[in-house]
């Protein structure tokens, strides 16, 4: 490396590392790509590559082939942060998001059945109903070897025929938008808190201690108020944090 490139290498690495440390780039978010570094800082591709490698070696980010370099979750307590009320975040599948943060996702399906009778749920005082047939999927979702979320979804097979054939790693939400062309969608969610004791029959987390849990109820429906999906899930309260942004317009 020439002296000037060396100087630039140091400057760019420091800048990006500082941006990660101050939270400008959050866990799971992309840092600039090789090409972006080249054009933004006017450096050679060798220097750009070395910058990304240095950041990776620092343990701050991880390159995923063909996708980009993503900031790892390094918070001391390793809480996962999820943004509520964001459609953009909803589109990203559960597993995809975990991978970008440096975790190894895994699912275990406890139940996958077709209910002919339909299903209903009360959320925030309103009743949401899906007529049968309905696909029920109950699965445990892991990050590395820890169960993080116990998820049960009910999906309308009338609105989404054959959605039971969707591969498990795919985002249901993306399928509603693209494969099933359901148009603009609304999501309503409520978040409750509860305590799971080890012997609680709802407790599939396998924890020996009492843990706090978030209880999520949600409904996704079309502009014509047809309900596409109902969900009841439990998140480990000691592992998750939910973020909300609001802004005046």
Residues of this chain that interact with a copy of itself (CB under 8 A) are 22-23, 26-27, 75, 79, 81, 84-87, 90, 124-127, 184-195, 210-214, 237-238, 240-249
| Residue 50 C-beta: closest distance to a copy of itself, Å | 26
Do residues 27 and 71 make contact, with C-beta atoms less than 8 angstroms apart? yes
| Residue 13 C-beta: closest distance to a copy of itself, Å | 20
Residues paired with 227 in a beta bridge: 221
CA distance 59 to 247: 34
Q: Read off the tokens for 81.
A: 């942060």
Residue among 9 and 94 whose Cβ is closer to a copy of itself: 94
| Residue 244 C-beta: closest distance to a copy of itself, Å | 4
Task: Give all strands (DSSP E) within 76-133, no chain letters.
Answer: 80-83, 105-115, 119-123, 126-130
Residue among 157 and 219 whose Cβ is closer to a copy of itself: 219
Do residues 47 and 8 make contact, with C-beta atoms less than 8 angstroms apart? yes
Residue among 93 and 212 whose Cβ is closer to a copy of itself: 212
Residue among 85 and 132 whose Cβ is closer to a copy of itself: 85
| Residue 88 C-beta: closest distance to a copy of itself, Å | 10
Q: 49 Cβ partners below 8 Å, 6+ apart?
A: 34
């Amino acid at each position: 490396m020439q002296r000037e490139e060396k100087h630039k290498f140091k400057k760019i690495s420091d800048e990006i590392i500082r941006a990660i440390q101050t939270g400008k780039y959050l866990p799971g978010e992309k840092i600039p790509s090789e090409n972006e570094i080249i054009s933004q800082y006017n450096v050679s591709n060798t220097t750009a590559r070395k910058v990304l490698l240095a950041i990776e070696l620092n343990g701050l980010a991880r390159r995923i082939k063909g996708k980009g370099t993503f900031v790892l979750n390094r918070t001391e307590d390793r809480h996962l942060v999820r943004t509520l009320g964001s459609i953009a975040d909803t589109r990203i599948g559960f597993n995809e998001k975990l991978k970008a943060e440096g975790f190894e996702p895994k699912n275990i399906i406890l139940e996958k059945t077709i209910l002919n009778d339909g299903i209903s749920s009360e959320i925030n005082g309103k009743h949401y109903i899906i007529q049968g047939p309905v696909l029920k999927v109950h699965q445990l979702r892991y990050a590395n070897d820890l169960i993080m979320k116990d998820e049960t979804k009910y999906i309308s097979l009338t609105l989404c025929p054959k959605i039971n054939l969707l591969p498990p790693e795919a985002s249901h939400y993306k399928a509603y938008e693209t494969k099933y062309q359901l148009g603009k969608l609304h999501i309503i969610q409520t978040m409750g808190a509860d305590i799971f004791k080890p012997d609680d029959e709802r407790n599939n987390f396998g924890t020996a201690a009492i843990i706090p849990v978030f209880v999520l109820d949600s409904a996704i429906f079309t502009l014509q108020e047809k309900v596409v999906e109902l969900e009841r899930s439990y998140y480990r309260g000691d592992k998750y944090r939910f973020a909300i942004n609001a802004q005046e317009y």
